[in-house]
Structure 1
Amino acid sequence: MSDPTTSRPKPIRKAVFPVAGLGTRFLPATKAVPKEMLPIVDRPLIQYAVDEAREAGIEELIFVTGRGKTSIVEHFDTAFELETTMASRGKDLSVLDDTRIKPGNLVTVRQQVAMGLGHAVWCAREVVGDEPFAIFLPDELMVGAPGCMKQMVEAYNEVGGNLISVLEVPEEEVSSYGVIAPGAKISGSLTEVTGLVEKPKREEAPSNLIISGRYILQPEVMRTLENQEKGAGGEIQLTDAMARMIGTQPFHAVTFAGRRFDCGSKAGFVEATIALALERPDLADDVRAAIKKLLG
């Protein structure tokens, strides 16, 4: 878990992006277009997650893909014809800067059969190797300054071990999420995790801190997932594997200082689009006027 030469935790250089899902909740839009490529304003959803990873100092991006997902990888490739045409017309190419990944820094692995988030993460085991790594669920759009993963990496550099991002929600909402059981050790945004509970009844929830789609895990989780039995929905659940690691390694939650948008739901997707458009100086006035017109 740590670098013996410095006593500091090993750096987080790799991130896994499970992007093999079918996106059925957004059909028919996702029949031919991956849900991760649906735009929030003018950037595909996957771009926000990749930008967040880069801000946190992560170098190697590992996409766990499936059939019909090639456009995700192509988005981060060099578009020779497009760029040549734009350059010949005097167009500004800087709009494409964030879509370029250094050669060798993007790796794809295949999840041939949809068997759950835990299985998707396990598919990246050979690329992750014996290093701690991050996981990003692109459906969860996390907006903050600094970004969620950078906040987590800063906390990880202090405590090492395993970390998950959490958000505080009203108690009446806890039954819709996975929540943490907090330990006695709480320091600022860091909370010790003693257990994980999936969608508890309100009166039985150990806290109102929900798991929110960002993780830093030690490589031992891959060995746990190797032997993980199927859980909820008949799938291999990452939450089950993490729960088995609690008590054997340090485990903390980081309360994210920022906003979360559930872009796996249509309402959340629309909310994110409006919220981010209102933060854009080139769009805010027109969007605000359009909203007033629609509501009037």
Structure 2
Amino acid sequence: MAARVRKAVFPVAGLGTRFLPATKVMPKEMLTVVDRPLIQHVVEEARAAGIEQFIFVTGPNKSVIKEHFAQHPELEQVLAARGKTAELAELARSLLPPGSAHSVIQEEPLGLGHAVWCARELVGEEPFALLLPDVLVQTQGKNCLAQMLDIYDQHGANIIAVYPVPEDQVQSYGVVALGRRDGDVSRIDSLVEKPKPGTAPTNLAILGRYILQPEIFDFLLAHETGAGGEIQITDAMLALLKQQPFYAVQCEGRVFDCGSKAGFLAANIAYALDRPDLRDTVLAEIEKLT
């Protein structure tokens, strides 16, 4: 039986340069999709999937991310005094249980692989989930991580969520090459980070949701650089693939790459249209604009 996944790592140390000047002072993970920061959407996904420990790999001057999930007594007192019960309920929804939020600083932006390596002491010898906050997956039923954990419970090992992207965009992603089917999932034969045009084995891009075994840290230890001169998690996974199986899962739901301006704006529209209190108003405003 596979060991239970209790911990999730959230790499939130990036500079967010594609959203300057908005991210000059505010972390990109605090940009809001409707009325919740990106990081809250992803943390809520992990929490709903059963994650108990939340590990934030932050950069210097990014303490506001962890603070977002803590209590703010003065604000709560003001809201209570003004009878703002709905707002109080929303604040309560953002809180994480005492002792469940942890942070570690990535001193230099050396890549996703390095960010994951920075979390090694907090993860320990356990399998863990890795969620990238700039990717949202809008689902109507079980969220993406919950779907992955269902597969993990059946197969164990390592799980990577993937989704199809247009052929002319493949070079912007890490992609997988698939092997044989194993029940309801496919084994992964290989992974390629940002392949050159025309060389990608498939158009299945890595989504930004992973379940990984702790042995991944052994391959991140050397701090070897890959694509873009950064320490890539893909390279470490490729090395671990020689020792342990990896499975690809296509989660049900719509994927939004909120690391791009177009994807971020699309996510705001889609999540607003999914809200009964906003849908009609937003549709009316869209009709005016078009």
TM range (shorter): over 0.9
Deviation of 1:170 (Å) = 3.5
- The answer for the alignment partner of 2:180 in structure 1 is 184
Deviation of 1:52 (Å) = 0.5
1:13 aligns with one of 2, 6, 20 = 6
1:35 aligns with one of 15, 28, 32 = 28
Residue pair 1:194, 1:247 contacting (<8 A) in 2 also: no
- The answer for the alignment partner of 1:136 in structure 2 is 131
- The answer for the alignment partner of 2:262 in structure 1 is 267
1:46 aligns with one of 28, 39, 44 = 39
Deviation of 1:184 (Å) = 1.4
User: For 1:15, what is the secondary structure of its paired residue?
Assistant: strand
* 2:220 matches 1:220: no
- The answer for the alignment partner of 1:164 in structure 2 is 160
Residue pair 2:114, 2:223 contacting (<8 A) in 1 also: no
Structure 1 CA distance for aligned equivalents of residues 186 and 273 of structure 2:
33
One-letter amino acid of the counterpart of residue 217, structure 2: M
What does the per-residue CA deviation read over 1:214-255, in whole Å, with 9 as the maximum and x for residues that have no partner? 000000001110014111121111000000111311211111
Residue pair 1:228, 1:241 contacting (<8 A) in 2 also: no
- The answer for the alignment partner of 1:154 in structure 2 is 150
Superposition TM-score, scaled by structure 2 size? 0.96
One-letter amino acid of the counterpart of residue 125, structure 1: R
Q: Which runs of 5+ in 1 are unaligned?
A: 1-7
Equivalences, count? 287
Superposition TM-score, scaled by structure 1 size? 0.94
User: For 2:276, what is the secondary structure of its paired residue?
Assistant: coil
- The answer for the alignment partner of 1:3 in structure 2 is none
Deviation of 1:117 (Å) = 0.4
User: For 2:92, what is the secondary structure of its paired residue?
Assistant: helix
User: For 1:267, what is the secondary structure of its paired residue?
Assistant: helix
Equivalent residue runs for 1:1-296 within 5 Å: 8-92=1-85, 93-144=88-139, 145-188=141-184, 190-201=185-196, 203-295=198-290
Structure 1 CA distance for aligned equivalents of residues 134 and 101 of structure 2:
20
TM-align CA RMSD: 1.2
**Does 171-180 or 125-134 show the bigger shift?**
171-180
Structure 2 CA distance for aligned equivalents of residues 168 and 268 of structure 1:
15
What does the per-residue CA deviation read over 1:259-279, in whole Å, with 9 as the maximum and x for residues that have no partner? 110100111111100111111
One-letter amino acid of the counterpart of residue 243, structure 1: L
What does the per-residue CA deviation read over 1:154-199, in whole Å, with 9 as the maximum and x for residues that have no partner? 10000000111001234343233211110012533x1100100123
Structure 2 CA distance for aligned equivalents of residues 32 and 170 of structure 1:
34
Structure 2 CA distance for aligned equivalents of residues 55 and 253 of structure 1:
21
After TM superposition, the runs of 4+ consecutive aligned structure 1 residues lying more than 6 A away are none
Deviation of 1:73 (Å) = 1.0
Deviation of 1:202 (Å) = 5.4
Structure 2 CA distance for aligned equivalents of residues 232 and 26 of structure 1:
22
Structure 2 CA distance for aligned equivalents of residues 103 and 275 of structure 1:
32
Of all paired residues, the percent bearing the same amino acid is 57
